[in-house]
Amino acid sequence: MIEGFELPDDADAVSARVSPYRFFSAEEWAHFRADTPLTLTADEVREMRSLNDPTEIEEVRRIYLSLSRLLSTHVESSQMLFQQRSRFLNFDEKDAKTPFIIGIAGPVAVGKSTTARLLKQLLARWPSSPKVDLVTSDGFLYPNAVLEREGLMQRKGFPESFDTGAILNFLSAIKAGMPNVRAPRYSHLSYDVMPDNAITVDRPDILVFEGINVLQTRHLPAGGRMVPMVSDFFDFSIYIDADVALIHQWYIERFRQLRATAFQNPASYFHRFTQISEAEATAHAEKLWDNINLRNLEENILPTRPRADLILRKGRDHMVETVALRKL
């Protein structure tokens, strides 16, 4: 026991006292917006939100303007540090820069994509007009043919279903300021990567990288051998959080909405669910949740939450209720 430090009986009290985070209600967080202007319209917000995500312009005012202001301070500090280090290393290339990378993690159906798209637009509309790109980790999943061959189709979304080496190569190239770096795209219609359809990222000022497992750690080998992790390339990381029961509810609700919309397309990988009754389709969705998504959440995604710099925790109405910001 450390002298002068006693563990109380209540473990939660210990956790709160020594937490590396500062916690704010949504109302407290909204005050940090200060004079940050609202540069999005209500229609633009509706266009950017994902299916079954009720985010409206008021949520942008409450949560995302303060977050945009916070990120602006981090980006400015990062740029100043880069310039100071360049002088230290006598590196005087005038057009050299290192992109600021923001990682966004969290479980399925919690609203990661909406957050990523909102931030991309808000950051791009700063007075300095930075170049902001958005890439999702879905494109780095192994193709279905590979997953089927390796017996991993039932573990799609688990860490081993991603080509982590390709992700590391991509982020390393971005961080090095390399031009025209390609990232694969993913089709939610065919439920597969599109090898002949890539996005080109050309030296952005800011890159938003979104995915369920982007804060995942890796086994550390003996001997101190360097094993890079995806999050090593992040300058700031965000985790979108909610109670597991709510995430389950949102997942099933989204599945039902997709069954009535996107799944109706005969080209959809999940079109077969429109050919059975709603009760049967919902039963299949529950199995997918129990056997894949819940297991992945509990084993791989949720354990990465404490690694984030900022945690946005949502309530029953899908709106953010609390914000946890890591202390400096």
Domain membership flag for residue 14: no
Domain membership flag for residue 4: no
Domain membership flag for residue 12: no
Please list the pLDDT of the chain residue by residue as tens digits (328 residues).
333 334 345 555 556 678 999 999 999 999 999 999 999 999 999 999 998 899 999 999 999 999 999 999 999 999 899 888 888 988 766 656 789 999 999 999 999 999 999 999 999 999 999 999 999 999 999 999 999 999 999 999 999 999 999 999 999 999 999 999 999 999 999 999 998 899 999 999 999 999 999 999 888 778 888 889 999 999 999 999 999 999 999 999 999 999 999 999 999 999 999 999 999 999 999 999 999 999 999 999 999 999 999 999 999 999 999 999 999 9
User: According to the model, what pLDDT value does residue 106 have?
Assistant: 97
User: According to the model, what pLDDT value does residue 25 have?
Assistant: 97
**Going by DSSP bridges, is the β-strand pair 310-314/236-241 parallel, antiparallel, or unpaired?**
parallel
Distance CA 171, CA 140 (A): 12
Domain count, the chain: 1
CATH code for the domain in which residue 168 is found: 3.40.50.300
Q: What are 36-45's contacts with CB under 8 Å, separation 24+?
A: 36/65, 36/66, 36/68, 36/69, 38/65, 39/121, 39/122, 39/125, 40/118, 40/121, 40/122, 40/125, 44/121, 45/118
- Its domain, for residue 71, covers 19-218+227-326
Domain membership flag for residue 172: yes
Domain membership flag for residue 306: yes
Domain membership flag for residue 2: no
Taking the CB of residue 257, how many other CB atoms lie within 10 A of it? 13
Question: Phi and psi dihedrals of 301, rounded to 5?
Answer: -85, -55
Domain membership flag for residue 5: no
Domain membership flag for residue 234: yes
